[in-house]
Structure formats: structure tokens, C-alpha cells
Chain A
Amino acid sequence: MTRVLIRVPKTVKPGQEFEIKVLISHPMETGYRRDHQGTPIPRDIVKQFRCTLDGEEVFRAEMFPAIAANPYFFFHAVAERGGTLRFEWSDERGTAWRESAALTVE
């Protein structure tokens, strides 16, 4: 199953603002719903999302049940040097995921 789609420009100019887009595949189950039998569906949400460039934090978000399924992050960043953009997200049960993308600044 596809876990995530990430879009980052391959190269950016130093100091130039650029877009980072991340679409995460996740049910974001609120814990407030019931299935057809009336049994509550357990809460299952991505709680933390973080993006770093060579260890330096670029963006961080904490999520709550009101965020819809398949959360989409769209934010801007500025970089002086290239490096590895790392994306990390985790749910409340301790499962964590990570992906990375190379960023060239020139």
C-alpha cells in the first residue's frame, strides 16, 4: 500500500522560498465512530509530523482527531545549503514512519 506521496523541487536557489508537499495515507480514525455492529472503532490517528533538513527542523505539526483521513501538508521553506530532507510521522500506538528526499541548492 502506498504510504506517502512527497513532492519537493530537486533544485532550489539559495534563499529562495520553495514548496514542500506531503500526502500521507492514513485513516485518521477519530475514535468517535461505530461500525455496522455498533462496536466503537478504536481511535487511530497520526499524532506527530516533522520535517527536517540535515537535522534542522523545518516544520512540525501535532494532529488531533478533527484532521480528515489522508492528511495533506503543504508548507514553504527556505534553504541556504542542500541536504537530506527527512520526513517523520508517528501514530499514538508507537508506530513511526520515515521517508527522505534529496534537496540540491545551487
Chain B
Amino acid sequence: MIRQAAMAVALLATWPAAAQTDDMANPAFLWVEEGKALWSERPRPGAKSCADCHGAAETAMRGVAARHPAFDAKRGRAMLLTQRLDACRVEHQGETPFEPESRRQLGLAAYIALQSRGLPVAIAADGPLAKTVAEGRALYTRRIGQLDLSCAQCHDDLVGRRLAATAIPSGHVNAYPVYRSDWLGMGSFWRRLGNCTTGVRAEAFAPHSPEHVALESYLAARGNDLPMQAPGFRN
């Protein structure tokens, strides 16, 4: 028993690090299991599952998350991975879009992102997505909120410095969606964005709003060549 107690204490101390390298220590994988089940589930009799059209996610979805957000020629606009999922849900399955931040949406996004793990982020930022990326960059460098701070002031100028007890990260999105112990659950980049906009006392952007799409596109492109780490783990 004593040995086990000591082990539990040791584990607590190393948990955040362990969760990055050991899937079992990252509760995000509970969501991944749900996404996996959803991949081959028919939403209603007669409707097609994702697997019915795409086949095995391991092959069909490999690299897909690494190149999203992407410009969609058919629809003439930038699309986040979660907007892609909604497009298939609505147009190909005849269902309603996923509820933002629901277990189903996050689970499926995490499961698809997992198929790109380790691959370099590969956003086609100089093609037709360039306009959206530029809009994102403009938002990123614009001062907002009562605190009158831009994203860049923290995530470019003060990386590694501390905001109270928290180290300021470089603001990459290659690990999103993440499990966050502080949230007791998973969240997408949009949820994280809400924390940062609220932090500077600015109004939060709606999920899938043009601002959300632009910022996510810019941050993803800014992280080009980084290895995909989703689903990540944060304290």
C-alpha cells in the first residue's frame, strides 16, 4: 500500500507531462472513443454514416486536420475542420449541425485530428486562404477590450513571461481540441479564444463567426510545420 501511495504522489507530480506522452493519462481519449463510435454510426435508418462514404478514418482522414482551416472552392470560403463536419452532417446526412463544444462535436474533431498526429501542420496560406489569414493577422495585432491589449502583445512579445501564475504560451493551435483539467473537460480553440477575449475584457466572438475563422486560420498558418499534437492536454 505504501508503495502504491508513493506512486500516486509521483504520478500527480508528473501528470501534465505524462498526459502529453501517454494517451491513457489524457482524458481527451474518452472523447476520442466517442468520436470513433460516431464515425460509423448512422444518424437514423437510411442515412449514411461518415464511414459509409469515407471508409476507414485512419486512411481517409490522415492529414485532413493538418491542412485545415482550408479554402473550400465549392463554397468559396475558408472552412474550419468543425465547419467541414457540419457541412457533411447537413448536406450528406440531412442532420442539424453539431452543437458547438458538445461531446459529439469535440469527440469527432479529436478523432479526426488524431489521424494527423505527428504530421506537420500544412496550411495552404498563400493560395485563396491568404485573404482570411491576413484578416486573422489584422485581428491578432489589433488592441481590443477594456485592457486594450492585442493577442500579439502577449503571444508574440511576452511568450514565456508569466500572467499571474500562468506562463504565456506562443498561442499555437496544433494541439486543439485539448482536454483541460481546469475545464474538467475538452474544448476547442474557440473555447480557449473565449478565455483570452474575456481576459482582456473584450466581447467574445461567436463560434464559427468570421473572426473565429480568421483567427484560427492565421494561428494555424503561423504554426505551419509544427507537428500535429491534437488532442492535447493542458492544465
Residues of A in contact with B (beta carbons under 8 Å apart): 1-2, 5, 7, 21, 23, 25, 27-28, 59, 68-70, 72, 74-76
Contacting residue for B181 out of A1, A25, A68, A76, CB 8 A: A68
Q: Mark B23-34, 1 if CB is under 8 A from A, else 0.
A: 011010111011
Please determine whether B30 and A2 come into contact, CB atoms closer than 8 angstroms.
Answer: yes
Closest to B184 in A: A69
Please determine whether A75 and B24 come into contact, CB atoms closer than 8 angstroms.
Answer: no
Closest to A69 in B: B184
CA distance A21 to B23 in the complex (A): 10
Please determine whether A59 and B4 come into contact, CB atoms closer than 8 angstroms.
Answer: yes
B234 part of interface (Cβ distance < 8 Å): no
Known A-B contacts A59-B4, A75-B4, A75-B7; the reply to A2 vs B181 at CB < 8 A is no
Please determine whether A5 and B24 come into contact, CB atoms closer than 8 angstroms.
Answer: yes
Please determine whether A5 and B184 come into contact, CB atoms closer than 8 angstroms.
Answer: no
Residues of A within 8 A of B4 (CB): 59, 75
Residues of B within 8 A of A74 (CB): 7, 11, 24-25
Closest to B24 in A: A21
Please determine whether A5 and B7 come into contact, CB atoms closer than 8 angstroms.
Answer: no
Please determine whether A7 and B185 come into contact, CB atoms closer than 8 angstroms.
Answer: no
Residues 1-40 of B contacting A (Cβ, < 8 Å): 4, 7, 11, 15, 24-25, 27, 29-31, 33-34, 37
Please determine whether A1 and B29 come into contact, CB atoms closer than 8 angstroms.
Answer: no
Please determine whether A72 and B33 come into contact, CB atoms closer than 8 angstroms.
Answer: no
Please determine whether B24 and A23 come into contact, CB atoms closer than 8 angstroms.
Answer: yes
Q: Across chains A and B, which 3 residue pairs bring their CB atoms closest together, nearest first?
A: A70-B27, A2-B33, A69-B184
Residues of A within 8 A of B155 (CB): none
CA distance A59 to B3 in the complex (A): 11
Residues 151-185 of B contacting A (Cβ, < 8 Å): 181, 184-185
Q: Which of A25, A68, A72 has the most CB of B within 10 A?
A: A72
B103 part of interface (Cβ distance < 8 Å): yes
- What are 14 contact pairs spanning A and B, CB under 8 A? A2-B34, A5-B33, A23-B25, A23-B27, A23-B29, A27-B184, A28-B184, A69-B27, A69-B184, A72-B24, A74-B7, A75-B4, A75-B7, A76-B7
Q: Which of B27, B33, B181 has the most CB of A within 10 A?
A: B27
Closest to A27 in B: B184
Q: Which of A5, A7, A76 has the most CB of B within 10 A?
A: A5
Contacting residue for B103 out of A1, A28, A59, A68, CB 8 A: A1
Residues of B within 8 A of A2 (CB): 30-31, 33-34, 37
Please determine whether B27 and A72 come into contact, CB atoms closer than 8 angstroms.
Answer: yes
Please determine whether A7 and B24 come into contact, CB atoms closer than 8 angstroms.
Answer: yes
Residues 50-71 of B contacting A (Cβ, < 8 Å): none
Q: A69-B27, A74-B24, A75-B7 are in contact. List 19 more A-B contacts (CB 8 A).
A: A2-B30, A2-B37, A7-B24, A21-B24, A21-B25, A23-B25, A23-B27, A23-B29, A23-B30, A25-B27, A27-B184, A68-B181, A69-B185, A70-B184, A72-B25, A72-B27, A74-B11, A75-B4, A76-B7
